[in-house]
A and B are shown apart, each in its own frame.
Chain A
């Protein structure tokens, strides 16, 4: 089985640790995951803002990059949903039958990480160790567009040392919503503030989800509140072991001067 990592544009540019965590995790589970360097983005930012013509070349790049793989795994419910449910719309817009055929070929092979682990690899215990108190936010697209159900919870419940707390009103949107976060910033922040309040009600130290874009939004609100809660992608928790990575997932910084500052704080 040839497996490709679709890292997503947000993870590529902003959260490379999540991509590395997926690589580490899949290799540990015996999957030699490849990274097709031609990949860029799933085109969701364009599609969901209404720029369908602009989405066409992006979808074309997507199907070219992932042609010939048996499975495409991505640490994002939202991008998996975009590939599975929106690429057909973009192909129709292009009027290109070849692109439509390529999309029909590629779309069904795209799996969100928890789907890939549970459905394709058939594992719920990935041998992870994460000694922290965690609460899980089911992101909207993973929940309602993909229907990942309780797969992420099953994976988390099997992580040694992890204490999983129930998030009140878990299924309500956090307010990120892509360009909604900027176009309707006030409403978006109101929703984020309520989500942050529910996270704080749990007393958890870590908020986990399967989408870094949503975590970036809720985490940004929590950070501004000095809430003392950090946000960590599901992949980074599942990749953690006793041997451990250097430093806490969702923590360290690419900037040495901050690394130093953190060292001094400890």
Chain B
């Protein structure tokens, strides 16, 4: 997977993608803003939600052990998975024990994260996604690009084409007269999925929340496919990130109020399913819960980054992010894209991989993500922190990067105003040289440098003019004119 700047470049050139994303994110942004604006105590709610998750993380070990006890007492089997391979192996083993060659799936970020579908395929087990957008992604042999709307990069015409081409290969085909009306497309998906719901013996889900005191898992959804998967099959396997735990049932309150408004821009999501182990004669009679680490404890150990584990996967930060809106989800090279992905992936994986190390820099630090985050994750703060970890990991390099050399030089000149004065005089000279060659004029008349070769300079001037440095810096002007007083009191002399 290429580093973010390279991956973004191809996405930026994809006009269909740009249009789909701009349209979809601005629509969801507006919906969110409207329903959040209705809640007078929104900020108090955010603080409450953040506090619940923060407290849960602080004593995570205690709550996880309690969750295991509660689940076991209610007839569920609890498994602990250190990483993706262990989690996949557990799910495959349970499915194989029941002789299943297929499973139906509730939309789950955790199973995407561990690559469960691919792992099950290696065991000869087909994993059918039943969430409409996940189905679109799966049928299109594609990758999800958004946490909430995995197929956000697709429009209705593309969806119609995918359904017509691919549905028949894996089950009930789409009707030949399929149109691109959303209701018609949803109807085709419903018919296609219905036979899979009724046939499947094993279902796989994730969970939005896990309540330690009761052993209750919670799935929040919009379509009802989750409800089908959670109630119809005989066996249910849930893969749950360890950060999903909350101590008590009451603590779901702020989170369940924050999530739908932040996520889909709805006051309330259509389906909230809760289940507590096995209930005789009702729903799955064999329930497995796989508690997944896969880098979460590494994130937990990071004092600044720990807050990222508060994330309730609402995706508001993606919809608010101007970088995500243009580069799309695939550029992040992970099932967690956008601002949260830019911090979560490095926190869970650590430094050292060039692709992961590029993610904290995939942000202009504009702060729109923090502003909308329902659990107040200060994403810009964590991004800057993670950038420093990337830089620190290279401090012992035998050959320093050009950027490191430049930063050391900048720190040297900024460490003392006299040194800065010399640099500015040199830049004034450079400005005069620059404007002799390839001179352009900015709107308003100031002279500028057009295209300049060389690293950094070319990256700027490839698409942007650059004002030429002025002949005289502010500090030189102040000294020469005694702050304008010796200039006949004028502060507008020597305009630049």
Does A184 touch B at the CB level, under 8 Å?
yes
On whether the beta carbons of A216 and B466 are closer than 8 Å, the reply is yes
Say yes or no: A223-B387 contact (C-beta < 8 A), given A173-B322, A187-B323, A246-B495.
Answer: no
B199: CB under 8 A from chain A? no
| Chain B 390-416 interface mask (CB, 8 Å, partner A; 1/0) | 111001000000011001101101111
Are A40 and B366 neighbours in the complex by a CB distance under 8 Å? no
Bound form: Cα–Cα A152–B367 in Å: 19
Q: B483 near A35 (CB under 8 angstroms)?
A: yes
Bound: A17/B362 CA distance, A: 33
B415, A57: Cβ atoms under 8 Å? Answer: yes
**Contact between B4 and A43 (Cβ–Cβ < 8 Å)?**
no
Hey, which chain B residues are within 8 Å of A144, CB to CB?
Answer: 366-368, 370-371
State how many angstroms separate the Cβ of A177 from the closest Cβ of chain B: 3
Complex CA distance for A15 and B473, rounded to whole angstroms: 8
Interface flags for B427-460 (1: CB within 8 Å of A; 0: not) read 1000110010001111111111000000010011
Is there contact, CB below 8 Å, between A183 and B361?
yes
Residues in A whose Cβ lies below 8 Å from that of B460: 181-182, 185, 220
Nearest CB in chain A: distance from B383 CB, A: 9
| A58, B471: Cα distance in complex, Å | 25
- Decide if A14 touches B467 in the complex (CB within 8 Å): yes
B407–A184 touching, CB < 8 Å: no
Q: Is the CB of A253 within 8 A of B364?
A: no
CB distance from A24 to the nearest CB of B (A): 4
A51, B368: Cβ atoms closer than 8 Å: no
Residues of chain A in range 181-235 having any CB-CB distance to chain B below 8 Å: 181-192, 194, 216-217, 219-224, 227-232
Query: How many Å from the CB of B298 to the closest CB on chain A?
Result: 19
Judge whether B432 and A255 touch: CB under 8 Å: yes
A250 CB contact (under 8 Å) in B363, B403, B446: B446
Measured CB to CB, the closest approach of chain B to A16, in angstroms, equals 4
Q: How far is the CA of A144 from the CA of B380 in the complex (A)?
A: 11
Minimum CB distance partner of B326 in chain A = A190
Query: Assuming the A-B contacts A11-B474, A223-B440, A227-B443, are A50 and B391 also in contact, with contact meaning beta carbons closer than 8 angstroms in the complex?
Result: yes
**A49: interface (CB < 8 Å):** yes
Asked if A40 contacts B417 (CB within 8 A), the reply is: yes
Determine which of A52, A65, A232, A258 lies in contact with B447 in the assembled complex, contact meaning CB atoms within 8 Å: A258
Interface contact B469-A13, CB-CB below 8 Å: yes
Whether the pair B442, A223 counts as a contact (CB closer than 8 A) is yes
Contact present for A13 and B427 (CB under 8 Å): yes
A38, A60, A182, A184 interface centre (most CB from chain B within 10 Å): A184
Residue B12 CB within 8 A of the other chain: yes
Complex Cα–Cα for A65 and B416 (A): 10
Q: Which of B327, B416, B420, B456 has the most CB of A within 10 A?
A: B420
B424 adjacent to chain A (CB < 8 Å): yes
Is B251 interfacial (CB 8 A cutoff)?
A: no
Distance of A232 Cα from B442 Cα, bound (Å): 12
Q: Which residues of chain A are within 8 angstroms of B464 by Cβ–Cβ distance?
A: 189, 192, 217, 220-221, 223-224
Q: Mark A41-62, 1 if CB is under 8 A from B, else 0.
A: 1010111111111110110110
B250 at the interface (CB under 8 A from A): no
Say whether A216 contacts B467, CB under 8 Å.
yes
| A154, CB-defined interface residue at 8 Å | no
Residue with the highest number of chain B CB atoms closer than 10 Å, among A20, A57, A93, A228? A20
Complex Cα–Cα for A183 and B424 (A): 24
Q: How far is the CB of B413 from chain A (nearest CB, A)?
A: 8
Q: Evaluate whether A40 and B416 lie within 8 angstroms (CB atoms) in the complex, with A20-B484, A23-B491 already known.
A: yes
> Are B470 and A183 touching (Cβ within 8 A)?
no
Let me know if A248 and B444 touch, CB within 8 A.
Answer: yes
Shortest C-beta distance, A262 to chain B (Å), equals: 5
Report A239 CB to chain B, min CB distance, Å: 8
CA distance A217 to B475 in the complex (A): 23
What's the nearest-Cβ distance from chain A to residue B376, in Å?
13
| Contact of A23 with B483 at beta-carbon distance under 8 Å, contacts A183-B361, A184-B362, A187-B323 already known | yes
Cβ < 8 Å to B, chain A residues 230-266:
230-232, 245-248, 250-255, 257-258, 261-262
Please determine whether B445 and A258 come into contact, CB atoms closer than 8 angstroms: yes
- Bound Cα distance from A19 to B387, whole angstroms: 31
Minimum CB–CB distance for B10 against chain A, Å = 10
Closest CB in chain B relative to A140 CB, distance in Å: 4
Q: Which residue of chain B has its CB nearest to the CB of A261? A: B441
Tell whether B465 is near chain A: CB-to-CB under 8 Å.
yes
Q: In this assembly, does A137 line the interface, its C-beta being within 8 Å of a C-beta of chain B?
A: no
Residues of A within 8 A of B472 (CB): 16, 254
Measured in the bound complex, the distance between the Cα atoms of B459 and A184 in whole Å is 9
The 4 nearest A-B residue pairs measured at CB:
A177-B364, A50-B387, A220-B464, A254-B496
- List 16 additional A-B contacts (Cβ < 8 Å) besides A20-B491, A173-B322, A251-B444: A7-B474, A12-B475, A20-B474, A23-B483, A51-B388, A51-B404, A58-B414, A173-B364, A177-B363, A180-B363, A182-B459, A191-B322, A247-B445, A252-B495, A253-B446, A254-B496
A residues with CB within 8 A of B: 7, 9, 11-17, 19-21, 23-24, 27, 35, 37-41, 43, 45-55, 57-58, 60-61, 65, 86, 89, 93, 140-141, 143-145, 171-173, 175-192, 194, 216-217, 219-224, 227-232, 245-248, 250-255, 257-258, 261-262
Interface residues of B (CB under 8 A from A): 4-5, 8-9, 12, 322-323, 326-327, 360-368, 370-371, 384, 386-392, 395, 403-404, 407-408, 410-411, 413-417, 420, 423-424, 427, 431-432, 435, 439-448, 456, 459-475, 477-479, 483-484, 491-492, 494-496
The 30 sampled A-B contact pairs (Cβ below 8 Å) are A16-B470, A17-B492, A19-B477, A20-B477, A37-B475, A37-B479, A46-B410, A48-B384, A54-B411, A57-B415, A61-B416, A140-B365, A144-B366, A144-B370, A171-B368, A177-B366, A184-B323, A185-B462, A187-B362, A220-B460, A220-B467, A224-B465, A227-B443, A251-B444, A251-B445, A253-B446, A254-B472, A255-B447, A255-B471, A262-B441
